[in-house]
Amino acid sequence: MRSATVRDGAHHDVLVVGGGQAGLSMSRHLVGQGVDHVVLERDTVAHEWRDGRWDAFTLVTPNWHCRLPAYPYDGPDPNGFMGRDEVYSWVRGYADTFDAPVAEGVAATRIAPRSGGGFVVQTTAGLVSAGAVVAAVGGYHRPVLPSWSRDLPEHVAQVHSHEYRSPDQLPPGPVLVVGTGQSGTQIAEDLLLAGREVHLSVGRAPRVARTYRGRDCMTWLAEMGVYDVPVAARGLAKRESTNHYVTGRDGGRDIDLRAFALRGMRLYGRATTVEEGTLRFEPTLGRDLDHADAVAESIKDDIDRWISSEQIDAPVEARYTPVWRPEVEPERLDLAGIAAVVWSVGFRADWSWLGELAPEVLDHEGHPRHVRGLSPVPGLSFVGLPWLHTWGSGRFLGIAQDTAHVAAEVAAWRAGGTWAGPAERALDLPAAG
């Protein structure tokens, strides 16, 4: 990596906004094509892996899934799961494998069309222009809190999962975790392992078994081509789906909330409101636990069919039997005895920097409109979004393919070709394949 300087009034063929794995992958293709470009990173390269995860964080996908352009994982544990600091070092190290021109500490604050073609981009280091702009900032920008979080008693410390680091960070006493996506379930386990009293508000997120019939389930799914199926074949609603919860901690294992309940974790349904210091819940716990298990078992069904069709010699494994069921659906929790709440209810995208282009580029729900990353505005594209093209798009597994496609399309367009983004503004195609 070489340190790039953004100069007021400068022009580049391509401007890449974001210096994480997607932005670096895009830069790798552009360097290979000899395209003049600069990568803007508002902080430091790959900083979200270091600054946005808790201490005990691990990947939930096997290390062999980690493969950026010309940079596959080649460490000693391909079937293991890198921790936070290892992932940060791996991505940061990628930038040093080629001459990536990265301007760290420089943010793009506004983009507008330029007279005669291309774009002008206001940055924190001055105004620059570019023939094409690639947004590589992901889709998770602003942590979300429910509107009623302000009604919690003042003594309750509130931390979003993006800010959570370790159990010692929270004040002594019982902790409530709200949300059971990948972060919420792993943080709840982190607290339980530390001996904390944990209360968990369970949502609709599905789960997946860590291993089945002798292999990691995600290895089976990759071999089956599941991560390569375009979102258009699944329906655009897939972009809203929650990832299945599982963990790579201690070599990888299932996350079974029912087993957590047997170990003393107190489970509740979906949290709704706070009234006079009491948090209320909907009676959804049993239903949502059953749903998570049903999804995990359906994945095993798919694996069974694959094993049979391919005549694979794999050991037979007994199916999961629920180890706990709620006898009563708890409806309320007195917050007087709760020391802290960890919110794991997601993020909201912030595309305000798109400025006057936003009405043309975003759909009615605020999602980027694109065809395989190419927006309706010629020269403006996206990489690194969940379900950009396939399920693998939001993972290390699919980034190389996505950025190769976008880089080739940008190069072809700059050479006089046709822009292949959505042609009609009336079409809402935020992730069509």
Per-residue pLDDT tens digits for 266-324: 999 999 999 999 999 999 999 999 999 999 999 999 999 999 999 999 999 999 999 99
Residues 6+ apart with CB under 8 A from 113: 119, 120, 356, 357, 377
SS3 of residue 232 by DSSP:
helix
CA distance 251 to 404: 32
60 within 8 A of 46, measured Cβ to Cβ = no
- pTM to 2 decimal places: 0.94
Domain range annotation of the chain = 2-141+349-414, 144-346
Domain 2-141+349-414 has CATH 1.10.150.20: no
177 within 8 A of 188, measured Cβ to Cβ = yes
Interval 120-177: pLDDT, tens: 999 999 999 999 999 999 888 899 999 999 999 999 999 999 999 999 999 999 999 9
Give the whole-number percent of the chain exceeding pLDDT 70: 96
What's the DSSP call for residue 103?
Answer: E
Euclidean distance between the first and the last CA atom of the chain, given in angstroms as a whole number = 32
In this prediction, residue 236 carries a pLDDT of: 54
* Same-fold call for 2-141+349-414 versus 144-346: yes
In this prediction, residue 433 carries a pLDDT of: 34
Pick the CATH number of 144-346 from 3.30.1330.10, 3.40.50.11440, 3.50.50.60, 3.40.50.880: 3.50.50.60
Interval 163-173: pLDDT, tens: 999 999 999 99
What's the DSSP call for residue 391?
Answer: G
400 within 8 A of 67, measured Cβ to Cβ = yes
SS3 of residue 125 by DSSP:
coil
SS3 of residue 365 by DSSP:
coil
Report whether pLDDT(48) > 70: yes
Q: Is 363 exposed, middle or buried (0-12, 13-18, 19+ CB in 10 A)?
A: middle
